[in-house]
Structures are given as C-alpha cells and as structure tokens.
Structure 1
Amino acid sequence: MRIVIVEDEALLALELECEVEAAGHQVVGQAMNSSAAISVIDTEQPDFAFVDIHLLDGPTGIDVGRHLAGRGIPFVFVTGNLKRIPSDFVGAIGAIEKPYTVNGLQNALAYISRLVEGEGKTAPPPSLVMASA
C-alpha cells in the first residue's frame, strides 16, 4: 500500500515510517499540520493514511480525516486520547492509541492491509479500536 503519515511528533513519524516500510508498504508522504497533510493527500493519492488528531496547527487531524473520507481513502487515527475522536469517527476505520507497542502496530497494520485490499474479514487485533465499537 501507498501510505501517508500525518503526525507532528518527528520521532513517532519516523518510527511509524520504519514499521510501515518493514511491513512491505511505501510511505509516500508525511505531514505535521493539516494544510501540508491535505496537500500530500491530494498530490500522492495514497491507499491509506495514519492520522494523529493533534497536529502542529491544533486538533486539526479530524479535518484531515474528513478530507480523507471525502476522497474515499481509508485511514485510522493514531492518538493519545481516544475521547477526542467524534463518535462517528469521521469515516475512519478505527484508531490506534498512543503509546502503542511495535507488536500492536504491526498487528494493526497487517489487519488494515487485509481490510484495504478487500481480503476476508477477520477479528481486529486488540491494538486497533474499531469505529463500529
């Protein structure tokens, strides 16, 4: 998958990029604020995105999520505070709570990959809070 990472903490973004690439996916862009995120999304046309809720320009990850949903691009929120996610998840598949473990992230990414590629549904890993929950 071609993946965009929207995260304002550089070390977390780098760690996430390393895990995504180790799983065989391609990171096609990173952004630390909402305007950069929307620009990368529109330019790169990713297959999937990881989106933090609180970015350099405030809690604008929700707006980025709405933009992704409007374009039909699946995404998950990656956040330290699940309570900040609107009850409808603005179209996200779900959320991964920070701090996450590498194993938890790998399990969530494997599940998301299968889901995005249209493979049979299996139970989500505990590290992924599903929007329908």
Structure 2
Amino acid sequence: MKVMIVEDEMLLAMELESEVEMAGHIVTGLAMSSTQARQQIGSSKPDFAFVDIHLMDGPTGIDVGRELAASGIPYVFVSGNIKKIPDDFAGALGAIEKPYTMRGMKNALAYVSAIIQGDESGSPPASLVLADDANAGRRPA
C-alpha cells in the first residue's frame, strides 16, 4: 500500500515513515504543510494517508483531509487533540490520538490496510477511534 504522511513534526514523521516501511508499505512522501500535501495528493496518488490537524501553515490538516476524501483516498487523522476534528470527521476513517505508541500505530496501520483491501472481519485496535464510533457518542439519544 502506498502511504502519504502529512505531519509537521519531522521526528514524528520520520518515526511513522519507518513504521510504515517496516510493515511492508511504501511511503509516497512526507508533507509538512497543506501546500506540500496538495502537491503530493496529485503527483503520488497514495492509497492511504496519515494526516495531522495542525501543520506548518496552521490548522489546515482538516482541509487536506477533505481533499483526500474528495479524491477517494482513505485517511486517518493523527492529532494531539482529536476534539478539534469536525463531527463529520471530514471524511476520515478515524483518528489516532497523540502521543501514540509505535505498537498502537502499527496495529492501526494493519487494521486500516485490511479494510482498504476489503477485509472488514478484524476488530479495530484501541489506538484507533473510528469515525462512526466517535459520531455515535456525539449524537443525541
């Protein structure tokens, strides 16, 4: 699977890149701003993306996410404050809250990879908050 990483903290981006590659996937690129992300969406055609909400040019990760969703590219937010994610999750599959463990990220990547390949038999790992689950908690009873 080709994975794009949208993260403005270089150390986190590099750690995530290493995890993605060790899991057998290809990193199509690292983007630190919405401008870089938009360029990569068009040029690298990723199968999936990890997207931080706050990038070098501000809280523009949500806009990047909406563009990914509009392009049919599934993605997961990675953020220190998942409460900033809109109620509709901007089309994301879910979110992983920082700080995360590499094991949690690896488990989330394996789950998402299976979903993208059409295998929905697995259970989501604790590290991944699915959009449907988060929205169920926000809806009035």
State the TM bucket, normalised to the shorter chain.
over 0.9
2:102 alignment partner AA: V
Counterpart CA distance in 1 for 2:105 and 2:81 is: 17
**Identity, % of aligned pairs?**
63
Partner residue of 2:34? 34
Counterpart CA distance in 1 for 2:35 and 2:98 is: 23
Which stretches of structure 1, 4 residues or longer, exceed 6 Å deviation after superposition? none
Counterpart CA distance in 1 for 2:49 and 2:101 is: 19
Counterpart CA distance in 1 for 2:121 and 2:55 is: 32
**Partner secondary structure for residue 124 of structure 2:** coil
1:108 alignment partner AA: A
Q: What TM-score comes out, normalization by structure 2 length?
A: 0.93
- Structure number with greater Rg is 2
Unaligned runs of 5+ in 2: 134-141
Counterpart CA distance in 1 for 2:13 and 2:81 is: 17
Counterpart CA distance in 1 for 2:122 and 2:74 is: 17
Counterpart CA distance in 2 for 1:108 and 1:120 is: 13
Instruction: State whether structure 2 residue 134 is matched by structure 1 residue 125.
Output: no
Partner residue of 2:82? 82
Partner residue of 2:139? none
Q: What TM-score comes out, normalization by structure 1 length?
A: 0.98
Per the TM alignment, residue 122 of structure 1 is displaced from its structure 2 partner at its CA by 1.9
